[in-house]
Amino acid sequence: RKEVEQDPGPFNVPEGATVAFNCTYSNSASQSFFWYRQDCRKEPKLLMSVYSSGNEDGRFTAQLNRASQYISLLIRDSKLSDSATYLCVVNRAGANNLFFGTGTRLTVIP
Amino acid sequence: NAGVTQTPKFQVLKTGQSMTLQCAQDMNHNSMYWYRQDPGMGLRLIYYSASEGTTDKGEVPNGYNVSRLNKREFSLRLESAAPSQTSVYFCASSERLALNNEQFFGPGTRLTVL
């Protein structure tokens, strides 16, 4: 079983829509959770960390559900510039590295 | 600040050839990483360096070697390239190895091994 699993999409949504992505992780001892964004043929960049209590950054909201071992990302009022691949990233306690999901591709349509 | 830089951007090798991918960061970060990204696989850690003078294996180290030349530079060497090493290679750095530290990525090297 993969450490991190995501629906690859693609998600095609109109401008202004709300879209949500989920990601599941396999190791209950994981401690750190992130969403990274990767534009086509570019490097990944940190979008936001995910905290236990959930957190919001403008139009983006991240949630963590430890009991079910998933994290989510909600994007409100989608913009064309939100089109990208969103990578779910998780660490595992005792492992000195991060595990990256394969990404969920989002296209926002005018 | 340039952040994390990588050279070359593109490379085509024949099976059995060797090459070194270069990475440098100007953010005074202690930790540096090499990843590869393949379709359907996500980014996978090849090697990392927690601090100057140390290197450790990641998930997929076979066929690669690394050198942490100084605090700024971390190179990845393919001694005898194989088609299975065709991939996009990303170098990254973070302030330290703590797992809640943001990692900053370079623009990547697209490598094709024929």
- Apex A102 CA angle, A96 and A105, nearest 5: 135
Residues 6+ apart with CB under 8 A from A8: A102, A103, A104, A105
Task: Indicate yes or no: CB of A97 within 8 angstroms of CB of B48.
Answer: yes
Task: Determine the distance in angstroms separating the CA of A82 from the nearest CA of chain B, rounded to an integer.
Answer: 19
Inform me whether the C-beta atom of residue A22 falls under 8 Å from chain B C-beta atoms. Answer: no
> Average pLDDT of A28-42?
93
Give the pLDDT confidence of A44-75 residue by residue, as tens digits.
999 999 988 889 999 999 999 999 999 999 99
Is residue A93 predicted with pLDDT exceeding 90? Answer: no
Task: Determine the distance in angstroms separating the CA of B96 from the nearest CA of chain A, rounded to an integer.
Answer: 11
Give the pLDDT confidence of B61-81 residue by residue, as tens digits.
999 999 998 999 999 999 999
Per the prediction, chain A carries an average pLDDT of 93
Q: What percent of chain B lies above the pLDDT cut of 70? A: 99
Q: How confident is the model at residue A85 (pLDDT cuts 50, 70, 90)?
A: very high
Task: Indicate yes or no: CB of B103 within 8 angstroms of CB of A46.
Answer: yes
- pLDDT of A94 reads 67
Task: Determine the distance in angstroms separating the CA of B16 from the nearest CA of chain A, rounded to an integer.
Answer: 27
Q: A51 by DSSP, 3-state: which?
A: coil
Residues facing residue B113 across a β-bridge: B13
Q: How confident is the model at residue B40 (pLDDT cuts 50, 70, 90)?
A: confident
Q: Is residue B37 packed enough to be buried (19+ CB in 10 Å), middle (13-18) or exposed (0-12)?
A: buried
The minimal CB distance from B58 to the residues A4, A46, A97 is found for A97
Retrieve residue B110's tokens: 């697209």
Inform me whether the C-beta atom of residue A96 falls under 8 Å from chain B C-beta atoms. Answer: yes
Q: How confident is the model at residue A38 (pLDDT cuts 50, 70, 90)?
A: very high
Residue spans of alpha helices (H) in chain B:
none
Inform me whether the C-beta atom of residue B43 falls under 8 Å from chain A C-beta atoms. Answer: yes
- Who has greater pLDDT, B3 or A9? B3
- pLDDT of B62 reads 97
Residues 6+ apart with CB under 8 A from A10: A105, A106, A107
Q: What percent of chain B lies above the pLDDT cut of 90? A: 87
CB-based contact A15:A72 (threshold 8 Å): no
Is residue A96 predicted with pLDDT exceeding 80? Answer: no
Q: Tell me how many residue pairs between chain A and chain B have CB atoms under 8 A apart.
A: 44
